[in-house]
Amino acid sequence: MRPTLCLLAVLSPCIWAQNEPFPVHETRPLIVNGPYLLAPAEDSVTVVWMTDTPCHSKVLYGVESPNREADHAEHGLLPIGLRHAVRVTGLEAGQTYRYRVVSTRVVKMKSYWPEMGLQAESPIYSFTTLDRKKPAVSFSAITDTHEDTARLTGLTKRIDWAGTDFLVHLGDAFHGIESEEAIWSKFLDPVTKALAFIRPLLFVRGNHEARGPGARSLADYVPLPEGRFYYARDHGPVHFVVLDTGEDKDDSTNVYARLNRFKSYREEELAWFDRHVRSERRMTEAPFRVLLMHAPNWGWTDNQGAKWTEVANRGKFDLAISGHTHRFAHTLPGQKDNAYHQLVLGPENLARVDASEGELRVAVTTREGEAVESFTIAKRGP
């Protein structure tokens, strides 16, 4: 019998002992970055964080207490790694939830009986989902911080967080994405601190986020459920459309070494933008429509910028907010080809937008708190 048992053990090592306990070591991971809230919606939000050792992870959440569980299983398996991103779905619009993140160390991954460690838990925080029925909302926007953490911190300290629903970063948080360490230290860590783990970030990709060795993994740190950097959201009386204006030079420019393919990408995005304007009910139902993008001139479009402007005008957008030029500008409707207010923020500017059923109020200040400009946009007539 002994040789048979040995052969059986080789062919199927768990056939007689599959329910034996797996090893658990007295070692606990650390949560070293985050959590932060990304891509908020009326029924979902993404929670992202980092651990110091490979783990599998989950988010506990609930209205009264975090008694429900969400994970990020893919193809029947829980991912194991240092970076964790869990999309919490099935939420109610305008509801506040309490949440905490939990990561369990995986000491040694094996085919049978992986060796595990203990779990680490964050404190309990909260978040509130977006809600198109909310009568009034507010958000703040910054841009082109370019790894200047003093500027980023100074701008976010000026925000009245008690009255701010979310933060928009309009792109060019980096010179180029050179390393994971820079992603955290130059952008995500100071932003996470400012958002205090309870307010979400709406991220808009800038042209400098398309550069550097980490550009192709940016979506791992700012994951979006749409799987792309252009999308739409609703909150209160505002329908938001976020556009990705891509690079600012032709794909064939030698500085890119023929590694860019923005021409076809932007054509696909323009087709989506046009379909969205034509078919999305909120484009006509929402009291206001706001564009969020990095480059005010649509980025490099192969001389097709007029097509983008035509779609925006046809969509009856009220306001477009962007950065990129590194100087403040406010172009009134009709001053150029635009039928909407075009607001361009500089790196030292902070914009606050308050929206009610009847008006959009926009105030722009400097990092020092000096007023730059303020204006009000009334709701369009029928």
Task: List CB contacts of 321: < 8 A, sequence separation 6 or more.
Answer: 141, 168, 170, 290, 291, 292, 293, 343, 344, 345, 351, 353
Domain boundaries, the chain: 31-128, 137-378
CATH (residue range 31-128): 2.60.40.10
CATH of 137-378, one of 3.40.50.300, 3.60.21.10, 3.30.360.10, 1.10.340.30: 3.60.21.10
pTM of the model: 0.93
Cα distances from 210 to residues 26, 27, 181, 248, in angstroms, run 42, 39, 17, 10
pLDDT values of the chain reduced to their tens digit, one per residue, 382 residues: 333 333 333 444 444 467 788 999 999 999 999 999 999 999 999 999 999 999 999 999 999 999 999 999 999 999 999 999 999 999 999 999 999 999 999 999 999 999 999 999 999 999 999 999 999 999 999 999 999 999 999 999 999 999 999 999 999 999 999 999 999 999 999 999 999 999 999 999 999 999 999 999 999 999 999 999 999 999 999 999 999 999 999 999 999 999 999 999 999 999 999 999 999 999 999 999 999 999 999 999 999 999 999 999 999 999 999 999 999 999 999 999 999 999 999 999 999 999 999 999 999 999 999 999 999 999 987 6
User: What single letter denotes the amino acid at residue 18?
Assistant: Q
Q: Facing residues of 116 across strands? A: 24, 106
Residue 352, Cβ neighbours under 10 Å: how many? Answer: 19
Collapsing DSSP to helix, strand or coil, 291 comes out as strand
Cα distances from 168 to residues 13, 161, 202, 227, in angstroms, run 53, 13, 5, 19
